A = this chain, B = another copy of it.
């Protein structure tokens, strides 16, 4: 993290103006790069410039983690949440989890962030010819255990096999259906100036653990992925207060990217208090060696809750009452100015603009 001095007001105004003038982003690339899959700026552009124009519909355009809709013509009857993610993590097994557990928890968490109770998952396997069946068995067993822990069932699936050299062992897609049992509309649109941003625990654990597991760096660090299902934690939070405006799980691109997107879509500023960020020493240390910023590193068992200021204490207390939220903390505040920007107030008294992840320093961490 840099501790360069705060930008002048002119500089900030200039940044806002540049951001405002930016039209719908254009895809300048001719070919797909790893950045397009990193969840940061290039992914965002790909979605805006390619997927949305061809597939346009109001549910997709919300760009939330889940689509929320009613299946009855009259709009009565239960509202559902629907979400999908593919998992291409490398290596398939890492400290604290494996691709199977990740594939269950990741999609369960996308559903939970919409306020839904996750119910059922689909599972699509793309397997490389020659993959060892005992490894597949271990991974599927891990999915089964994760599903039981999360209270969901895998109800439909598909298996494809591709020739040697046409995959990297195994890729898994899961899609999930949840039911909205609360009369909630959690979204970036509801966020207001003054709202607090709470993180449910330490950041950067998952991505750092996977990077270390690759072994390229010969780092010996005692660190595990935080992969966990967040349905229970979310329910605890929503039971405790009705001041929650929006929930996000900071996976690819990390907390920084999620907040940069939130600032853009809410047209508010977000001031992050660097000193308040919960980061375990192992992540701090590994990040310095790897040249990473934990703010941009993926989490797989953490949530960001944007809550009304008067609800912040109750929200933190509720999160801390749950084993998965023990280290919950207020880390940022929504502000009206400068709109669309995330500002990190550094521990050294300076400040800097935090943008979405650019490039892809961490390919295939989920």
| A residues in contact (CB < 8 Å) with B | 27, 29-38, 43, 46-47, 50-51, 54-57, 59-60, 66-67, 69, 71-72, 77-78, 80, 82-88, 119-120, 122-134, 136-137, 140-141, 143-144, 147, 153-163, 165-168, 171, 173, 175, 177, 179, 360, 363-364
A55-B154, A131-B31 known; A140 vs B82 contact (CB < 8 Å): no
Decide: B124 and A86 in contact? CB cutoff 8 A: yes
Contact A46 B159 (CB under 8 A): yes
Residue of B nearest to A30 (CB): B133
- Chain B residues in 8 Å Cβ range of A87: 160
Enumerate chain B residues within 8 angstroms of A55, measured Cβ to Cβ.
123, 140, 143-144, 147, 153-154, 157
Q: Is the CB of B71 within 8 A of A78?
A: yes
B133 touches A31 (CB 8 A): yes
What is the count of identical protomers in the complex?
2
Which residue of B has the minimal Cβ distance to A180? B71
Name 5 A/B residue pairs within 8 A (Cβ), A-sorted. A32-B127, A32-B128, A67-B156, A71-B78, A86-B158
Q: Which of B46, B130, B166 contacts A32 (CB 8 A)?
A: B130
Q: A77-B78, A154-B55, A167-B166 are in contact. Are A160 and B67 (CB under 8 A)?
A: no
Query: Which residues of B have CB within 8 Å of A157?
Result: 47, 51, 55, 60, 84
